[in-house]
């Protein structure tokens, strides 16, 4: 009987020790709060198993219209680092930091990137385009900034963060080279695309593609009837067939526009948010590959 009890106790003790070690390991991870899903993915890549990442605006959700809740303020107070995109993408972030009483560091991933300026909605001056991640060469800057912020917070892991950043940089460079090859095969006059809102400025500038959108850079903007009519005339005149809706946009406007212009909407693009894990764009690299494939296929029809 004693031998039986000993045999039973040993596995139980081993399980208890394992559970305690696992809990200790989880407790040692640095809690990081990222403003939106794409940024959350980049933090996970750089931080690997030394961080646990929470995102405020999740997959398939729209950061432009996000409104923080009391639970978000609570999550922020429990984090050691907040990572934002900057460039005016999260106008609510500063308010959240102030209202929550958070005193920790805030890393701006886009710091050091030369921002694009574009005409504001309805022609009211200019505004900063915050969608810098649409150019993969800018994401090289993002991951370096994230690595630096994590290294400052966790000096013991600084070399790991740097190594992860360097390894990811090679993947970004390979992605960029492949995209350039695919797009170069499309004649310049065919490189025209219609999307829901004006989020592809950096992508278009980097790869030589003209993007048009009925909405401005924010999905909150209401397009003018004059602007939509002008876009329809342009679609017909230039015979643009590459028309796409985005995962976090209301498709009704573009559906009406494509109907009036006599074109078919292509596959969903992922712009300001990742897809859910069951979708085709649950990481930044997958998002970019998916968008490039769909855009190239669409432009070939122009």
**Number of domains comprising the chain:** 2
Tokens representing residue 73 in the block: 């303020």
What is the domain range of residue 142? Answer: 27-175
Report CA-CA distances (Å) from 13 to 1, 20, 26, 85, 105.
Answer: 18, 10, 20, 46, 40
pLDDT higher than threshold 90 for residue 101: yes
47: exposed, middle or buried (Cβ count in 10 Å: 0-12, 13-18, 19+): buried
CA distance 98 to 7: 56
Mean pLDDT, residues 196-208? 91
Mean pLDDT, residues 286-293? 98
Residue 80 and residue 171 share a domain: yes
The pLDDT score that the predictor gives to residue 260 is 82
pLDDT digits (tens, 9 = 90+) for 121-159: 555 667 899 999 999 999 999 999 999 999 999 999 999
Work out whether strand 116-119 and strand 126-129 pair parallel, antiparallel, or are unpaired.
Answer: antiparallel
Q: How many CB atoms lie within 10 A of CB 62?
A: 20
Q: What is the pTM of this model?
A: 0.84
Name the domain boundary from 175, 202, 234: 175
CA distance 94 to 162: 28
Q: Please give the biggest Cα pair distance in the chain.
A: 90
In a domain, 275, yes or no: yes
Residue 220 and residue 277 share a domain: yes
Task: Choose between 249 and 205: higher pLDDT.
Answer: 205
The pLDDT score that the predictor gives to residue 24 is 41
In a domain, 185, yes or no: yes
Tokens representing residue 240 in the block: 């643009």
Work out whether strand 30-36 and strand 81-84 pair parallel, antiparallel, or are unpaired.
Answer: parallel
In a domain, 2, yes or no: no
CA distance 38 to 286: 11
Q: Token match 């030394």: residue? A: 50
Residue 33's pLDDT band, with cuts at 50, 70 and 90, is very high
In a domain, 247, yes or no: yes
Residue 284 and residue 197 share a domain: yes
pLDDT digits (tens, 9 = 90+) for 264-274: 888 889 999 99
Q: How many CB atoms lie within 10 A of CB 55?
A: 24
The pLDDT score that the predictor gives to residue 64 is 84
Give the 3-state secondary structure of residue 266. Answer: coil
pLDDT higher than threshold 60 for residue 8: no
The pLDDT score that the predictor gives to residue 2 is 47
Task: Choose between 25 and 155: higher pLDDT.
Answer: 155
CA distance 286 to 291: 8
CA distance 286 to 289: 5
The pLDDT score that the predictor gives to residue 262 is 80
In a domain, 14, yes or no: no
Residue 189 and residue 148 share a domain: no
In a domain, 84, yes or no: yes
Residue 94's pLDDT band, with cuts at 50, 70 and 90, is very high
pLDDT digits (tens, 9 = 90+) for 41-63: 999 999 999 999 999 999 999 89
Alpha carbon distance, N-terminus to C-terminus of the chain: 81
Task: Choose between 153 and 118: higher pLDDT.
Answer: 153
pLDDT higher than threshold 70 for residue 23: no
Distance of CA 72 to the CA centre of its chain: 19
Residue 210 and residue 137 share a domain: no
**In the chain, count of helices (H) and strands (E)?**
10, 8
Task: Choose between 58 and 194: higher pLDDT.
Answer: 58
What CATH number does the domain containing 181 carry? 3.40.50.1980
The pLDDT score that the predictor gives to residue 69 is 94
pLDDT higher than threshold 70 for residue 3: no
Name the domain boundary from 175, 190, 217: 175
Name the domain boundary from 123, 153, 175: 175
The pLDDT score that the predictor gives to residue 294 is 96
């Amino acid at each position: 009987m004693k031998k039986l009890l000993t045999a039973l106790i040993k596995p139980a003790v081993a399980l208890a020790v394992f559970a305690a070690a696992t809990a200790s390991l989880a407790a040692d991870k640095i809690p990081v709060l990222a403003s939106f899903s794409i940024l959350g993915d980049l933090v996970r890549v750089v931080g690997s198993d030394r961080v646990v990442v929470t995102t405020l605006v999740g997959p398939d959700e729209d950061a432009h219209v996000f409104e923080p809740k009391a639970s978000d303020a609570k999550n922020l107070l429990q984090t050691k680092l907040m990572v934002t995109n900057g460039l005016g993408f999260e106008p609510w972030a500063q308010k959240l930091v102030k209202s929550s009483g958070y005193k920790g560091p805030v890393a701006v991933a886009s710091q050091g990137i030369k921002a694009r300026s574009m005409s504001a909605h309805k022609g009211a001056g200019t505004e900063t385009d915050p969608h810098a991640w649409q150019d993969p060469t800018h994401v090289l800057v993002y991951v370096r900034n994230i690595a630096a912020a994590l290294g400052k917070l966790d000096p013991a892991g600084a070399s790991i963060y740097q190594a992860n950043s360097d390894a990811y940089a090679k993947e970004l460079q390979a992605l960029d080279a492949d995209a350039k090859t695919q797009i170069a095969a499309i004649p310049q006059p065919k490189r025209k695309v219609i999307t829901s809102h004006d989020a592809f400025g950096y992508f278009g500038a980097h790869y030589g593609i003209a993007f048009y959108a009925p909405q401005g850079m924010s999905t909150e903007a209401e397009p003018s009837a004059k602007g939509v009519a002008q876009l329809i005339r342009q679609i017909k005149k230039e015979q643009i067939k590459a028309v796409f809706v985005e995962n976090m946009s209301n498709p009704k406007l573009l559906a009406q526009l494509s109907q009036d212009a006599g074109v078919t909407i292509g596959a969903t693009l992922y712009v300001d948010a990742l897809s859910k894990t069951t979708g085709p764009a649950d990481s930044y690299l997958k998002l970019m590959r998916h968008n490039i494939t769909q855009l190239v296929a669409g432009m070939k029809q122009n």
